[in-house]
Chains A and B, each alone.
Chain A
Amino acid sequence: MTKRRRYILLFAGLIILAACVLTQLAAGAKVTIGQPRPVGRPPRIRPDYQGAVIPPNIAPLNFLIQEEGSLYYVKISSKQGKPVEVVTESPKILIPEGPWHRLLSMNRGAQLAFDVFVKDKNGRWNAFSTLTNTVAQESIDNYLVYRKIHPAHGVWNDMGIYQRNLQTFDETTILDNSYFKRGCLNCHAFCSNRTDRMLIGIRSKKYGSSAILTKDETVANIRTKFGYTTWHPSGRLAAYSINYVGQFFHSARDEVRDVIDLDSFVAYYSLDSRQVKTSPDLARKGRLETYPAWSPDGRYLYFCSASIWWADRKKMIPRNYHQIKYDLLRISYDINTDTWGTLETVLSAHDTGLSVLEPRISPDGRWLLFCMCSYGCFPVYQQTSDLYLMNLHAEQTGQYEYRRLDINSDQSESWHSWSSNSRWIAFSSKKDYGVFTRSYLSYVDAEGKVYKPLLMPQKDPEFYDACLETYSVPELVTEPVKVQGEKLGRVVRSWRKITVEMPITMATPEAGEEPGYEPWQQRE
């Protein structure tokens, strides 16, 4: 046989082989179920998406069927459109993105049925009860920005702020601490769910504490430390807290870590004048002020406040630290005249018996979502922390009605944010993975009913099982953050900074000074 003939034969053989494989694959995609045996219960799946209201623009909800079988067939259908079918030998159901999105977009407001069939070892198909979800009418904002870090105690190494496209599984790094010698970054805040105004708090031994301000495509470094930050809806100023933090550790409690503010106040930074200011009511000497949140009309600043009842202000942790409880207050503000009104108590810790924290108001101004926990200022470390919803439109009655949400678990729920259409919330919870905080999405209807939360989907349904990182401060935004990576990193490292003078306010530091010692500074 000549060499040429040998090659022709080999080539022909390869074509036949490829044809056989493709035929087999095509045949495998079509499954004849015949008369399946009804199991009489829904299949056990992980993550548990059953019964949730899902965004019409969410990435495929891939899941794992926790039923023994040799072949799995899942049919996803709704009122309109071609059903999506998945046949696989693996219990991992990976839903194709294109057909999934087509099906969802055609069925806004309709039910979505998941029919699950599993072929057992005897070759017989078992039909499980249908799993149903509801596709919401309203989309969720396309991006979620969060921080990822190992459960950090005294030390950390890698951490970063990432953005996830919720329509796909794409995750990109906005900024991680490898750009600035493993410092700390957090408290990312956006203006009205847009990314043209962004602030990120940076703490670095080498490069100092600063706030990275993104305004359109330009980035600046403000030489001061921003704590919890909220943008005025005009985008002209940002209010933020300055916290003198005391971290400590419990010798016997489920959550080892704990944090209290030994001192704090709220200030605001004006982008136009590049000045930091405060108001006497935002920085009372006998009180701790934190977690500022603007109302969507920009007329009120909500924040949390607790009294400082312990005498030794320099001492690390007061003996009865578990009696520190925060009230929810608000103060009116006129941005045109830069004047503050009178202080009002929205919800008193005295009345609730709990510490009121992290207020966030829906963009339509109707709902105030907040946390309450047994004490302190850091709900993510408090197992008792739950989410509550307050109806702000009921203020005519003189009473702010609020209720604990059904979506809470016996673990901590915290770090919540609203979507731009006020129909979705993203929040952090430890409900399924203990110390590992994950991001969840919940639908909020017009009446303020909050539906079963959806774990932020991942391509691999087993992704979270072995994921040793926590996802915190999930912020919903409508568009991706465009300024990322080295462009931000370069500004963090830069010596060119906007210098600001601190106003006279706080009990502990003097005017013009940053609060001095902080435990994290020692750790870095």
Chain B
Amino acid sequence: MGKKKAVAEESHSAGGARAINKFRIGDVIMMAVIVILCATCVLPFIHVAAKSVSGTTAVMSKSVYFWPKDLNFDAFKRVFGDSSMTYSMGFSVVVTLIFTLLGMIVCTCAAYPLSKRRLKGRSFITFILMVPMYFGAGLIPTYLLLSNIKLLDTMWVLILPLIYSPYNMLIMKNFFMSTIPDSLEESAFLDGATNFQILRHIILPLSKPIIATLSLFYAVGRWNSYSDNMYYTRDAKLKMIQFKLYQLVASASEAQTASLADTGGVAQSAPEVLQAASIMFVTVPIIIIYPFLQKYFVQGTMIGAVKG
């Protein structure tokens, strides 16, 4: 679109040379702004990456910018050698997978029936399922509830309370209502298919894009958040990798070394390099896959914006 406009401008513009000139300056300025903003998104990570594979002395002498000095992988060896780090990573993967699977099931169970206009009691059930989006009970009542049902300090406290998401349900419901023609189902219905069969053999195969998108919403959401990890668990075996990183680095700003030493494993000397390696350990997986995720995220967000 941009290109077409540019061509059109050059042929239609009454301003002649002046307009074209102005146009180019504007273009350069805008590209420069975008490049600078992109740099703020990329350079910090390049810096951390360079630091993570640099020698301790080079980092201590503050001469590492965006290129490693005294290249070595000692810090990474330490991080990978620290069983609590690799454990947390593995635990995060397991929790995220279970969470995503259960989340998609509960989401479909809610969205499919509610996408049927004929369903009796539909608006009431929708209301019941949407209330939690607008009014939460708050931390303490939720905490006591989870304590009463004996979920505190179990893996399930990181999964069950959040698998039902009103927002994701709305997106899926909107998708069903807007993209799958009623006629398709009606004919299946007349052929004697049950609701389950229609869902399995007609709806789900047609919904692959939204299933991919919402699975990623669930997975990335679970992967990145850790406040529940902070509220509801104490057991070191239940630390997801983001929480681990938070404790290791972000919260360690006051007494960096002390706090690092506490955790054993990834500890002692050269905290800066080790911190950088820990950050990279947690960040690289998401950076690698996010160019692929991004497309689905954009789609999902757009569908979410259209109301059913």
Whether both chains belong to one complex is answered with: no
Q: Which residues of A contact B (CB under 8 A)?
A: none
Q: Which residues of B contact A (CB under 8 A)?
A: none
